Homo-oligomer: A and B are copies of this chain.
Amino acid sequence: MRMLIENARILTMNENMDEHLTGWIVIEDNLITALGSGAFEKAGQLFDEIVDAGGDLIMPGMVNTHCHMSMTMFRGLGEDVDDRLFRYILPLEREAVTPDVVRIGAQLAALEMMLGGVTTTADMYYFEREVGRVLDGAGMRGVVGQSLANFAAPDHTSFDEGFALVDALRDEFAGHERIIASIAPHAPYSTGPAIMARVAQYVADNPSVKIQMHLAEMKSEMEWCATHHGCRPVELADRAGILQEGAIMAHCLEITPAEIELMAERGITVAHNARSNAKAGRGIAPVEAMRKAGLSVGLATDGPMSGNTLDIFAQMAPASLFAKLLGGSRACLPAQEVVKMATIEAAAVLGMSDMIGSLAEGKRADLIRISLDAPHLLPIYDIYAALVFSAAASDVRDVLVNGVWLVKNRVSLTVEREKVMREAAQCAAAFRSKISQIDGVN
Contacts and interface: CB of A to CB of B under 8 A. Distances in A.
Interface of A: 72-73, 75-77, 79-82, 84, 108, 111-112, 115-116, 275, 278-284, 307-311, 314, 317-318, 320-322, 324-325, 327-332, 334-335, 373, 375-376, 378-382, 385-386, 389-390, 392-394, 417, 420-421, 424-425, 428, 431-432
Given A281-B328, A314-B317, A392-B394, 18 more contacts: A76-B385, A76-B390, A77-B381, A80-B330, A80-B335, A81-B331, A278-B321, A279-B321, A281-B331, A308-B317, A309-B390, A322-B325, A373-B421, A375-B417, A378-B421, A378-B424, A381-B432, A394-B394
Contacts of A335: 79-80
Nearest to A313: B392
A311 B281 contact: no
The 7 A-B residue pairs whose C-beta atoms are closest, nearest first, are A379-B428, A394-B394, A308-B389, A278-B321, A76-B381, A281-B324, A112-B375
Number of this chain's copies in the assembly equals 2
Contact of A376 (B112, B318, B334, B420): B112
A421 B375 contact: yes
Contact of A284 (B116, B325, B425, B432): B325
14 contacts: A73-B379, A76-B380, A80-B331, A81-B330, A108-B375, A278-B324, A279-B321, A280-B324, A281-B324, A308-B317, A318-B318, A325-B325, A376-B393, A378-B424
A393 B392 CA distance: 9
A332 B112 contact: no
A417 to B, nearest CB: 7
A33 to B, nearest CB: 33
B278 A325 contact: yes
Contacts of A279: 320-321, 324, 330, 389
Contacts of A417: 375
A372 B72 CA distance: 15
Contacts of A76: 379-382, 385-386, 389-390
Contacts of A376: 112, 115-116, 309-311, 393
A392 B392 contact: yes
A112 B374 CA distance: 9
A80 B284 CA distance: 20
B79 A382 contact: yes
